[in-house]
Structure 1
């Protein structure tokens, strides 16, 4: 079915949660005036609906195919990507000195949200390119920035992130790819790269004129583990000093993964240096590659959290359309025994309202996080640290909840949801990858309890929950949840063992995300009731109320799990558990 951009709710989140009018008061983001913001949100919504959405089903059915070393996409993908680049959507949040528009990250998030709701698999291409721009802008040399960024910013070239290897998985420190300095000749000062990487999203395709791979590898004699990893820029085609393209680099796509979903996104096994002539350039300092890559990963983790919103929105729209159209049974208790659309039945109403409430709350958390990132870019250190605390929440809870909403969407369809013809199953299949990549959600929760809780001796997290509790004085359940999160955070920092923290990390991360999302939904509700966004006057108070009354109270019930400790998890030996 067609995609319609939820423009009113997006603008509400951008204005109330990201507070973009405050950002526009700065010199850097002065262009983000209300008219500009509305034009971008309306424009990308229309573009996504018209160009990306019609390819979603064809991409799922046809998928990406590897033919003689070349990745082929279904008809229409090349033209849609060309239009995306031509209209400048890839450049929204990138630096102006390299051809970007220099607008807030918040608006760049909106571009990707709309594109991803329209076509999640396709949108992984610009998501990775945006991350490559961030990494090179922060860690590349002046020469690398001048050479690579203008065409990455425009989208003429695309970017990738190469971390994972077959033997390493999430343990990046176990990678074996190597980089050897070239002492003389044409490529003196550069490096020969050798190794294999797996799960490389959009690692090979023909939509962009060049692909700029950011590859982690080890130098000879480098320290073991993550301390000995360096980052290299490895183009598909060599780039001449004037920016023109040279010959093909010694790298290739060996195969494409056969996946549960996102079939139109080529997930590649990449081989570097089969002939000993894969040339790359060092980015940043030796053995500091993981720190540079994390610049890219933090951006990617927020945008992957956005994928929870994206797929939830698409599943929600399809479920609403089906429920309004599908006529079945009389409404229970009604004297009229004529069959009604299933949207009239109480349990279907419950499911739809849950889907809508969760989707809007994820969006509220997404744009609150994006607004904090933008404040950090303006020099607000407190906001920057808060954004780092929020990243595991939006990534983990956002993607888990995207899967939940997509699953409920299938349930609304009943048996018709379990067959492929309706398309509801695609949303669930597509959504299921998001809790896994860019660091599994268990890793996100572990990051929260082992690193982020300790920022400034716990003050960053404590201040966040204090803000939620203060602003929710008239919402006892939300205030109690925020206070419980603060108490558990203090216990984890002060008294809990590492095993106990990790055992409770996932439920704790969920509690925290729901507390912050509920806070932002409450702010939206108050704004709408005060006259903001009249188009949402009827719906927002109801969806916010549902979230506060149902989702917040459910999250409060996770306290026992968050504080249970690891003892029971190790009552059985590994053999007993597996037996």
Structure 2
């Protein structure tokens, strides 16, 4: 397996030629941050991922995390690598400077997440989950809790985990049974069992801060009765040092298809001491701060896996000799000469490069939502992020898994053999389509909650931005050709959007996943329009490659839009008319 190569040239192109990074930084008051600085940070991050994290990936998968005498033992080297990651400042990259963070733009953070996910998906979950917990605490916790926990979590000294799921309450959190009883001293005794808790315990040292959903004694039924509690692994002793073990433990580690190095825990809370985060019975709002942060992060995991798998497949395809050239004159030739192999590689690449661009654009909207001086612009950017969050989570993980499978296929039989590493990419990628809300749930969120935002004005504004860039792309013939295909797909998406407005539950459910994929294809196509337009101004091999892949996406991938539109128009009747007994 070759070393992972950070896509620095791509980052530089996107920041400098496609995403107007410097202009956005000026807009949000980060005048000292420009593309040159961002690229230098990403270069250093890429070196860390290649030298420190990637070497742990295969061994970590083979060793897995283990439960030893009630404590989690991560694979050899993981604890040391995490401490080096924290000491190098990577956990504090986008953190709030008020609590010790560096305050760098979220686009740098998101692309760091991509590189870490490429190097090791299991490792990347540790810092990714910390950040989700940090965001929830910062948004909803008391000033005292923030002052106590955020500086040490942002520095990486302490880690975090989200404890939401129970055996009888997965997507339907209204069914959860974990209880929280007031202790009379502003703390609560939390009792219950949670499952599927990533990073629930480990051997990195320091405290582990669990954010636990539970019910107060007077809680109303359903989701309106959920509260959120901060429950640390260690409590403060008489000297203020966190040495007192709290009342929770690891009951078991889940045996999983992939991400073996990541400890996915069954957690038992037995009267554990916790503090309320936010208002009583309003835990759902605080939880969604975590969930939305994690959903973007999980989408980037899909992108990271696709990028790493594509790199390995390209290297193999250039070296593997098999068959003869198309004219029969030469043989054996490198399999990258064969049309089917090239199609698989280019299909994966067309997602990776457009996904990276869309991730960057979305991250810049987050920066605008947090820091733009105009309240109207902040609200507009925040709505766009809300619109795109289920799309990034679901589509990036779907396309990421599909890209990993394509890359595995390039290896032929060797792709199925452990020593080449491709089967691990496929196994690891699969979970991203499931956790943090399955992709079907994301699709229903898009159709049911996000399309109606602003009375439909948010999605219409998004479509208008795409149309404006298509019009600008007409300046360059190569970009105009891509733009024409994207405009055609956008017209189909507009029709599907109109069809789903006011649709009943069955109709929405029948169409949702197809609609989300169509939405994602148009969005990725939009990024290819922007990249093709920028690449038309350059004459380097890099720019030529962008123009070619843009054409490939427009002509060989975006054509899926027609089939998806037809499926959406088919309605719910073919799906729902068969009785349950007939299955």
User: Does the TM-score normalized on the shorter chain lie above 0.5?
Assistant: yes
Counterpart of 1:551? 557
* 2:397 aligns with one of 396, 399, 409: 399
SS at match of 1:94: coil
The CA deviation at 1:148 is 0.2
**Aligned mate of 2:366, from 373, 387, 398:** 373
Give, in whole Å, the separation in 1 of the partners of 2:301 and 2:12. Answer: 18
What's 2:152 paired with? 151
1:463 Cα deviation after fit: 1.3
Unaligned runs of 5+ in 2: 373-377, 472-479
Distance 1:240 1:381 in 2: 44
Distance 2:41 2:238 in 1: 35
Q: Within 1, Cα distance between the matches of 2:284 and 2:12?
A: 36
Paired position in structure 2 for 1:508: 515
User: Displacement of 1:30 after TM fit?
Assistant: 2.8
Separation in structure 1 between the aligned mates of residue 265 and residue 234 of structure 2, nearest angstrom: 17
Maintained 8 Å contact 2:28/2:367: no
Does residue 541 (structure 1) correspond to residue 539 (structure 2)? The answer is no
How far did 1:74 drift? 2.0
CA contact (8 A) 1:302 1:395 kept: yes
Q: Given the alignment, which residue of 426, 438, 441 partners 1:440?
A: 438
1:25-64 equivalence runs, <5 A: 25-26=26-27, 28-64=29-65
What is the distance in 2 between the residues matched to 1:419 and 1:217?
A: 44
Does the residue aligned with 2:559 lie in a helix, a strand or coil?
helix
- Distance between the aligned counterparts of 1:555 and 1:47, measured in 2? 39
Unaligned runs of 5+ in 1: none
Higher mean displacement: 196-205 or 363-372:
363-372
Mean Cα deviation higher: 363-372 or 241-250: 241-250
Q: How many residues align?
A: 567
1:303 paired residue number:
297
Query: Match for residue 79 of structure 2?
Result: 78
For residue 562 of structure 1, what is the aligned residue in structure 2? 568
CA distance in 1, matches of 2:33, 2:210: 32
* CA-CA distance at 1:241 after TM superposition: 8.9
User: By how many angstroms is 1:206 displaced?
Assistant: 1.1
The equivalent residue for 1:117 is 118
- Please list the CA deviations of residues 44-63 of structure 1 after superposition, one character each: whole Å capped at 9, or x if unmatched: 00110010000000011111
Of 450, 455, 458, 1:457 maps to 455
Q: Contact between 2:214 and 2:226, CA under 8 Å: does it hold in 1?
A: yes
Find 1:355's aligned residue among 343, 348, 351. 348
TM-score, length of structure 1 as denominator length: 0.95
Moved more, 297-306 or 232-241: 232-241
Deviation at 1:11, TM superposition (A): 2.9
Q: 2:226 aligns with which of 220, 229, 248?
A: 229
Of 528, 532, 544, which aligns to 1:525?
Answer: 532
Quote the residue 2:497 is aligned against: 489
Residue number among 208, 212, 227 corresponding to 2:209 in the alignment: 212
Tell me the alpha carbon deviations over residues 512-564 of structure 1, each in whole angstroms, 9 at most, x when there is no partner. Answer: 111111111211121122239x5622311111111111211112320011222
Separation in structure 2 between the aligned mates of residue 18 and residue 345 of structure 1, nearest angstrom: 35
| Distance 1:126-1:459 versus aligned 2 partners, 3 A rule | same
Q: 1:261 aligns with which of 253, 258, 261?
A: 258
User: Closer, same or farther in 2 for the Cα pair 1:510/1:296, shift >3 Å?
Assistant: same
Q: What is the CA–CA distance in structure 2 between the aligned matches of 1:120 and 1:479, rounded to whole Å? A: 36
Residue 312 of structure 1: aligned partner: 306
Checking the alignment, whether the CA contact within 8 Å between 2:15 and 2:35 is kept in structure 1 is: no
What secondary structure does 2:138 align onto?
Answer: helix
Please report the TM-score for the alignment, with normalisation by the length of structure 2. Answer: 0.95
| RMSD between superposed Cα atoms in Å | 1.5
Q: CA deviation at 1:27?
A: 5.7
My pick for the range that moved more, 125-134 or 241-250, is 241-250
The structural deviation recorded for 1:242 is 7.6
SS of aligned partner of 1:160: strand
Q: What's the offset of the Cα at 1:432? A: 0.3
Deviations 1:22-42 (A, max 9, x none): 232146433322232011110
